[in-house]
Amino acid sequence: MALGEIRHIGVIGAGQMGNGIAHVAAQCGLNVTMVDVNPASLEKALATVAKNMDRQVQKGTMSADDAKAAQARITTSTSMDALAQADLVVEAATENEVVKKKIFAELDGILKPEGIMASNTSSISITRLAAVTKRPERFIGLHFMNPVPMMALVEIIRGLATSQETYERVAEVAQKMGKTIATSEDVPGFIVNRLLLPMLNEACYALQDGVADVKSIDTAMKLGAGHPMGPLTLADFIGLDTCVAIMRVLHQELGDSKYRPCPLLVKFVDAGWLGKKAGRGFYDYSSAEPKPYR
Ligand SMILES: NC(=O)c1ccc[n+]([C@@H]2O[C@H](COP(=O)([O-])OP(=O)(O)OC[C@H]3O[C@@H](n4cnc5c(N)ncnc54)[C@H](O)[C@@H]3O)[C@@H](O)[C@H]2O)c1
């Protein structure tokens, strides 16, 4: 089946990543349909795209007319039926294999046969997600970094059955969105999270073991290792639920105890302290200056 140029992109999940993917896709001229089960997430996503594009206009990196035109290219829906005619659908829903498999199985019956499916998963097997569809050759991993409009990288992951044509169409559109590609094998965590998440998890162990307080751990890695953000701030930014989900995938699938999620990190998630998106994680974000937990 010949695959055409990607002009219309669907995004499932309008959270932190979904709004960023919609932003860069609309900015490069694609039509975007964003779908979420939660109407409040869709409203918040549109407001975030508008706010972030306004910032680009203030900085002079985008014209006001282009920002307006880009926002007009984004439509939203709570039903996946709105994705039927998309050329590519990128799923960016919660990092949970059961949720993602359900989405792809349903989408398979809705999306036009030549439509490509992609997952923005941070760690889950692309081959396993593809296997719930009847189009594993048109299924791929497309892993953007957070925040999507700012971060230059996208990882592309071929599942066992992904066709070369699917890879080429998706690589083309990723480049059109201004991203640089790193191609990873379909292994837990791919490249970035295989290396990054164990470091963030270790920072949680350092806090749990009383090595230092939150602020000292972050300052040490910022100034001592040249990281732009301390590891606990970064974990809050990613979402602590997403961090635990990725560590569980690394732990279960690589079978090495060095990947076990830190109990303190799990406790934060159990408390609903999911990081910046929840207003509280290793820092409390209720005031202008985030306050460290300990
Ligand atoms: N946060 C990061 O730094 C980051 C970076 C790269 C990739 N990712 C991956 O991107 C995905 C999304 O992460 P996020 O940080 O945006 O999460 P998030 O919690 O901000 O948003 C998830 C969204 O998915 C929606 N959702 C849940 N179930 C759904 C369903 N069945 N159908 C439609 N929408 C549904 C929720 O309502 C929510 O709006 C995850 O797979 C995550 O691993 C996250």
Quick: pLDDT tens for 228-244. Answer: 999 999 999 999 999 99
Q: Tell whether 293 is covered by a domain.
A: no
pLDDT tens digit sequence for 96-144: 999 999 999 999 999 999 999 999 999 999 999 999 999 999 999 999 9
Q: How far is the CA of 170 from the centre of ligand 1 (A)?
A: 20
d(CA 112, CA 135): 11
**Residue nearest ligand 1's atom 2 by CA:** 238
Q: What is the mean pLDDT of residues 245-266?
A: 98
Q: Are residues 196 and 266 in the same domain?
A: yes
Q: How far is the CA of 35 from the centre of ligand 1 (A)?
A: 12
Q: Tell whether 2 is covered by a domain.
A: no
pLDDT tens digit sequence for 169-202: 999 999 999 999 999 999 999 999 999 999 999 9
Q: Are residues 167 and 209 in the same domain?
A: no
Q: Are residues 236 and 170 in the same domain?
A: no
Q: Are residues 94 and 234 in the same domain?
A: no
d(CA 265, CA 216): 17
Cα dihedral sign, 70-76-82-84: positive
Our answer to whether residue 143 is catalytic in this structure is yes
Q: Are residues 31 and 135 in the same domain?
A: yes
Q: Are residues 57 and 162 in the same domain?
A: yes
Structure tokens that stand for 166 in this block: 């699917």
pLDDT tens digit sequence for 49-66: 999 999 999 999 999 999
Give residue 2's pLDDT: 78
pTM of the complete model: 0.94
Our answer to whether residue 155 is catalytic in this structure is yes
d(CA 226, CA 111): 45
**Ligand 1, CB within 6 Å, residue ranges:** 12-18, 35-38, 41, 92-95, 99, 103, 120-122, 143-144, 146, 238-239, 242, 277
d(CA 204, CA 80): 38
**Residue nearest ligand 1's atom 28 by CA:** 93
Q: Tell whether 91 is covered by a domain.
A: yes
User: pLDDT at residue 3 above 90?
Assistant: no
- β-strands 180-184, 153-158 pairing: parallel
Q: Are residues 273 and 199 in the same domain?
A: yes
Q: Tell whether 137 is covered by a domain.
A: yes
Q: Which of 41, 184, 193, 201 is catalytic?
A: 193
Q: Are residues 154 and 244 in the same domain?
A: no
CATH code for position 59: 3.40.50.720
**Residue nearest ligand 1's atom 8 by CA:** 122
d(CA 235, CA 242): 9
Q: Tell whether 253 is covered by a domain.
A: yes
Structure tokens that stand for 56 in this block: 């680009």
Q: Which of 24, 44, 77, 94 to mutate to test the pocket of ligand 1 (most atoms within 8 A of CB)?
A: 94
Q: Are residues 152 and 29 in the same domain?
A: yes
Q: Are residues 172 and 53 in the same domain?
A: yes
Please report, for residues 54, 92, 217, 286, the alpha-carbon distance to residue 292 in angstroms, rounded to integers and kept in the order given: 30, 29, 11, 11
Per the structure, the count of domains in the chain is 2
Q: Are residues 110 and 56 in the same domain?
A: yes
Range of the structural domain that residue 122 is part of: 8-184
